[in-house]
Structure 1
Amino acid sequence: MFKNLLSLSLIISLLFFACSKSEEPDSGGNSGNKPEKKIVYFGVNLSGAEFGGIYPGIDGTHYGYPTEKDLDYFKAKGLYLIRFPFRWERIQPAMNGELNTTELEKMKLFVKAAEERNMQILLDMHNFGRYCIYCDGKDSKNNQYAIIGNSRCTIENLCDVWIKLAKEFKDYKNIWGYDIMNEPNAMLKTTPWFNIAQACIDAIRTVDTKTTIVVSGDEFSSAKRWKEVSDNLKDLIDPSNNLIFQAHVYFDHDTSGNYAKDYDEDGANIQTGVARLRPFVEWLQENNKRGFVGEYGVPDKDGRWLDILDAALKYLQDNGVNGTYWSAGPRWGDYPLAIQPTENYTKDRPQMEILLKYKSVWQ
Structure 2
Amino acid sequence: MEGAPDTLPGHLNGEVFVTPVSHFAYYASVGMDHVRLEASWERMQPRINGELGEQLLDHYADANNPLRNTVALVKYYLDTAQKNNLRVILDLCHNYGERYVGYDGTWSKKSKAQLGSAQVPIAAFADYCAKIVKTFGSHPAVVGIELMNEPHDLAIGEGGWRTACQAAIDAIRKINTSITIVIDGYGWASAEFWPARNPTLHTLNDPSKKIIWSAHQYFDASSAGVYGGGSEKAPANANLGAQRIAPFVEWLSNHGFADRGHMGEFGAPDRDEWQPIVDNFLKAARAAGLRLTAHQDIAYPNDAYTMNLFPATNSAGVITGPDRRIVRLIKAK
TM range (shorter): 0.7 to 0.9
Aligned to 1:212: 180
Shift of 1:194: 0.7
Amino acid at match of 1:204: I
Q: Shift in Å at residue 263 of structure 1?
A: 5.0
Which residue in 2 is equivalent to 1:98?
51
The aligned residue for residue 61 of structure 1 is 14
Query: Which amino acid in 1 is paired with 2:94?
Result: H
SS at match of 1:118: coil
- Give the counterpart of 2:161 among 181, 190, 193: 193
Aligned counterparts, 1:79-98, within 5 A: 79-98=32-51
Which residue is 1:49 aligned to? 2
The offset of 1:165, in angstroms, is: 1.0
CA contact (8 A) 2:97 2:151 kept: yes
Q: Distance in 2 between matches of 1:164 and 1:179?
A: 13
Equivalent-residue separation in structure 2 for 1:274 and 1:241 (angstroms): 28
The offset of 1:143, in angstroms, is 6.5
Given that 1:50 and 1:85 are in contact with CA atoms closer than 8 Å, whether structure 2 keeps it comes out as no
Query: SS state of the match for residue 315, structure 1?
Result: helix
Aligned to 2:23: 70
SS at match of 1:213: strand
Letter of the structure 2 residue corresponding to residue 149 of structure 1: G
Q: Which protein, 1 or 2, shows the higher relative CO under an 8 Å CA cutoff with sep ≥ 6?
A: 1
CA contact (8 A) 1:99 1:164 kept: yes
Quote how far apart the aligned CAs of 1:96 are: 0.8
Question: Cα distance 1:146–1:276, how it changes in 2: closer, same or farther (>3 A)?
Answer: same
Aligned equivalent of 1:271: 239
Deviation of 1:52 after TM superposition, in Å, equals: 4.4
**Which of 279, 297, 306 is residue 267 of structure 2 equivalent to?**
297
Q: How does 1:1-363 map to 2 (within 5 A)?
A: 48-100=1-53, 102-124=69-91, 125-133=93-101, 144-189=111-156, 192-260=160-228, 262-264=231-233, 267-289=235-257, 290-300=260-270, 302-331=271-300, 333-343=303-313, 344-347=318-321, 348-358=323-333
**Structure 2 unaligned runs (5+)?**
55-68
Unaligned runs of 5+ in 1: 1-47, 359-363
SS in 1 for 2:52: coil
Q: Does the aligned pair in 1 maintain the 2:5–2:40 contact within 8 Å?
A: no
Does the residue aligned with 1:325 lie in a helix, a strand or coil?
Answer: coil
Q: What secondary structure, in the 3-state scheme, does the structure 2 residue paired with 1:192 have?
A: helix
SS at match of 1:57: coil
In structure 2, C-alpha distance between the alignment counterparts of 1:281 and 1:170, rounded to whole Å:
29
Kept in 1: contact 2:2–2:15 (CA 8 A) = no
- For the 8 Å contact 1:162–1:204, the answer to whether it is kept is yes
Encode CA deviations 1:219-260: one digit per residue, 9 max, x unaligned: 100100011001311100001111000100000111011012
Question: 8 Å contact 1:271–1:312 — kept in the other structure?
Answer: yes
Q: Is the 8 A contact 2:116 2:156 kept in 1?
A: no
Larger radius of gyration: 1
Letter of the structure 1 residue corresponding to residue 125 of structure 2:
L
Verify the 8 A CA contact 1:270 1:308 in the aligned structure 2: yes
User: Match for 1:294: what amino acid?
Assistant: G
Q: Deviations over 1:38-57 (max 9, x none)?
A: xxxxxxxxxx3344431111
Is this contact kept in 1: 2:3–2:15, CA < 8 A?
no
Once superposed, what is the RMSD of the aligned Cα atoms?
2.4
1:89 is paired with a residue whose SS is helix
- Structure 1 pair 134–340 and aligned structure 2 pair: CA distance change class (3 A): farther
Q: Name the one with the larger strand percent.
A: 1
Give the counterpart letter for 1:309 in structure 2: V
Q: What is the CA-CA distance between 1:174 and the residue it aligns to? A: 2.2
1:133 Cα offset (Å): 2.0
2:10 match: secondary structure: coil
TM-score of the two chains, using structure 2 as the length reference: 0.87
SS at match of 2:43: helix
Query: What is the rounded CA distance, in whole Å, between the counterparts of 1:203 and 1:63 in structure 2?
Result: 29
